[in-house]
Amino acid sequence: MPKNVFVLGLSDQQRGELGTVRGADELRFHGLLDYDELVGAEHFELGSLLDRARAQLDRFASVDAIISHWDFPTSVLGPVLAAERDIAAPSLLSILACEHKYWSRLAQRESVPECVPDFAAFDPFDDDALDTIDVPFPFWIKPIKSHSSQLGFEIQRPEQFREALTQIRDEIGRYGDAFDEALRLVELPDDVEGVTGTGCIAEQIITGVQAAPEGSMYRGEFLVHGMFDMHRAADGHSFDRLDYPAASISSELQQRMIDVTERYIRHVGFDNGCFNAEFMWDADADKLWLIEINTRISQSHSDLFAKVDGMSNHEFAIDVALGRRPRPHARNGKFAVAAKCQVGQPDDGVIKAIPDDADIAAVRERFPDTLVEIEVAVGDRLSELPNQNPYRYQLATLYMGADDTAALAENFESAQSMLPFEIS
């Protein structure tokens, strides 16, 4: 009998990616809740989302796997729902120890202290918050729970801090309120108690080359599925390309990143789940910094795995949930390398025109198997769109394959010129 696999926030593109996993004909894929509820909403209520998901799952005679590939709240919803049905998943405590940015830094300082920048928690609603931060200028601030650099700001002067707090106070509840619901489900360590989802963290600014290993823990066995290059845009605060497999760093450095990830993952008790980690390497000082650990496969990586390895990373998450050891296999896809490429711009504005179907078809004809996602519509004001980086507004995403990384960069540059946007 086919097994029922539920994917939180399943999109049409991801349905196609799921078809690349081995044994897909023996699985039945179901979307659990939808994208707008889990990613695009203006505010989240964890309890309400859990109740709606439970009601949907209760309509099925069997629930065999529940997969998360988006950030919070899906990264928490999946393990909670899985635990209720005795499906393999990480403990909620280990999930939150990774996702709570202050708690995670404390755990990193215990397990991988050589990779941890200076940091300090603070209350953004405290008018004297700056006086409580012992990290010298310049530093970076961000909420205890956010993603994609949302509400993250580089602070060089006190007046910048005050300006950032104005926006943070207005918007931090979008994720923070629901994250507090999750924190109430576990017993927090004493030094984390009181640092809520609507709190913030200040961190030493780190620089260098970025890379990200993705893998899984399966019944105590640590596995790596792939390594990604993360190329920063000219603004220095966002990314314009994510390449697979990584080519900008040595195999020795990749192994250092992998070793640090394993030490931390084991320290917080994370098991029976997938992860990806983000690192920065300062080549001049040969200093490796750990940025963060994400407790899921990355949906940004899925098409890249399919293009290079011939299967989506959904396969690893499905295997773990079904109680099977993940089976990494490499280089069975159409391309030697692949990239997620982001088209963006630094300034706010209103969208007056976007690429039409003919423009997109021309890109796909010139660069076969390229996926083009236009992420704005005519009439949108960029600063009012959800999930935006404050330093670079995202207009479109392209998923491209090529024979080598040099060709990827050239192809992306050409494809951007073929996608006309008009912004007032």
Helix H, strand E, coil C: the string for 101-166 is HHHHHHHHHHHCHHHCCCEEEECCCCCCHHHHCCCCCCEEEEECCCCCCCCCEEECCHHHHHHHHH
Rounded Cα distance, 402 and 135, in Å: 43
Question: How large is the angle between the packed helices 46-57 and 173-183, nearest 10 degrees?
Answer: 70
Rounded Cα distance, 96 and 257, in Å: 22
Longest dimension (CA), the chain: 63
pLDDT band at 1 (very low <50, low <70, confident <90, very high): confident
% of the chain with per-residue pLDDT over 90: 88
Close Cβ partners of 366 (under 8 Å, ≥ 6 residues apart): 414, 415, 418
Can you give the pLDDT at residue 232? 79
- For residue 321, is pLDDT > 90? yes
- For residue 368, is pLDDT > 80? yes
Can you give the pLDDT at residue 242? 95
Can you give the pLDDT at residue 315? 95
- For residue 329, is pLDDT > 80? no
Least confident residue range of 51-65, 91-105, 139-153, 180-194: 139-153
Our measurement of the distance from residue 392's CA atom to the centroid of its chain's CA atoms, rounded to an integer in Å, reads 17
- For residue 415, is pLDDT > 90? yes
User: For residue 199, which of 148, 240, 144 has the smallest C-alpha distance?
Assistant: 144
Can you give the pLDDT at residue 150? 84
269: left (phi over 0), alpha (psi -120 to 50) or beta: left
Can you give the pLDDT at residue 283? 94
Angle at CA of residue 192, ends 269 and 74, nearest 5°: 60
207: left (phi over 0), alpha (psi -120 to 50) or beta: beta
pLDDT digits (tens, 9 = 90+) for 137-158: 999 999 999 876 788 999 999 9
Mean pLDDT over all residues of the chain?
94
Least confident residue range of 98-102, 266-270, 391-395: 391-395
Can you give the pLDDT at residue 389? 75
Rounded Cα distance, 306 and 338, in Å: 9
